[in-house]
Structure 1
Amino acid sequence: MDNQDDTDVVTVSRASGASSVLLVCEHASHHIPTELDDLGLNEVARYSHIAWDPGALGVARKLSKELDATLVSSNVSRLVYDCNRPPEATDAMPSENEAYKIPGNEALTSADRTARTETYYKPFLRTLAAQISSKTQPVIVTIHSFTPIYNGSAREVEIGILHDADQRLADAILAQADRYNVQRNAPYGPDDGVTHTLKVHGVANGHLNVMIEIRNDLIQTEDDQSSMGMVLAAWLTKALSQIGVVACKA
Structure 2
Amino acid sequence: MQNYTLLEPGASAIAFENEGAGGDIVIVCEHASRLVPEKLGDLGLDAATLESHIAWDPGAFELSRHLSASLDAALCYQRFSRLVYDCNRPPEAGSAIAEKSELFDIPGNKNISEAERRARINEIYLPFSEGLSEVLSFRKASGRQTVLVTVHSFTPIYFGKKREVEIGLLHDSDSRLADAMLSEFARRDQRYVVMRNQPYGPEDGVTHTLLEHGIANGIPNVMIEVRNDLLSSAQQRTSVATYLSALIEKGVSAVRAEQDS
TM-score, scaled relative to structure 1: 0.93
Q: Deviations along 1:191-219, whole A, 9 cap, x unmatched?
A: 00000000000111111000000000101
> Which residue, 216, 227, 233 being the options, matches 1:221?
233
- Counterparts of 2:131 and 2:68 in 1: how far apart (Å)? 17
The amino acid of 2:147's aligned partner reads V
Match of 2:254 in 1: 242
- Counterparts of 1:47 and 1:220 in 2: how far apart (Å)? 14
Contact 1:58 1:226 in 2 (8 A): no
> Which residue, 76, 80, 84 being the options, matches 1:76?
80
> Which residue, 99, 103, 122 being the options, matches 1:99?
103
- Counterparts of 1:19 and 1:36 in 2: how far apart (Å)? 38
Q: Deviations along 1:158-202, whole A, 9 cap, x unmatched?
A: 000000000000000111123211110000000000000000001
Match of 1:112 in 2: 116
> Which residue, 134, 137, 155 being the options, matches 2:145?
137
Match of 2:7 in 1: none
Contact 1:176 1:239 in 2 (8 A): yes
Match of 1:3 in 2: none
Q: Deviations along 1:111-149, whole A, 9 cap, x unmatched?
A: 221110001111111111111122221100000000111
Give the length in aligned residue pairs: 240
- The reply to whether residue 199 of structure 1 matches residue 211 of structure 2 is yes
- Counterparts of 2:235 and 2:11 in 1: how far apart (Å)? 28
- The reply to whether residue 8 of structure 1 matches residue 20 of structure 2 is no
Alpha-carbon shift at residue 7 of structure 1 (Å)? 5.3
Q: 1:195 to 1:123 in 2, by over 3 A?
A: same
- Counterparts of 2:42 and 2:87 in 1: how far apart (Å)? 18
Aligned-pair identity in percent equals: 49
- Counterparts of 1:61 and 1:112 in 2: how far apart (Å)? 32
What secondary structure sits across from 2:43 in the alignment?
helix
> Which residue, 154, 158, 161 being the options, matches 1:146?
154
Q: Which has the larger radius of gyration?
A: 2
What secondary structure sits across from 1:38 in the alignment?
coil
Match of 1:41 in 2: 45
- The reply to whether residue 163 of structure 1 matches residue 167 of structure 2 is no
Gapped regions of structure 2 (runs ≥ 5): 1-9
- The reply to whether residue 52 of structure 1 matches residue 53 of structure 2 is no
**Structure 1 consecutive aligned stretches of length 4 or more whose deviation exceeds 6 Å:** none
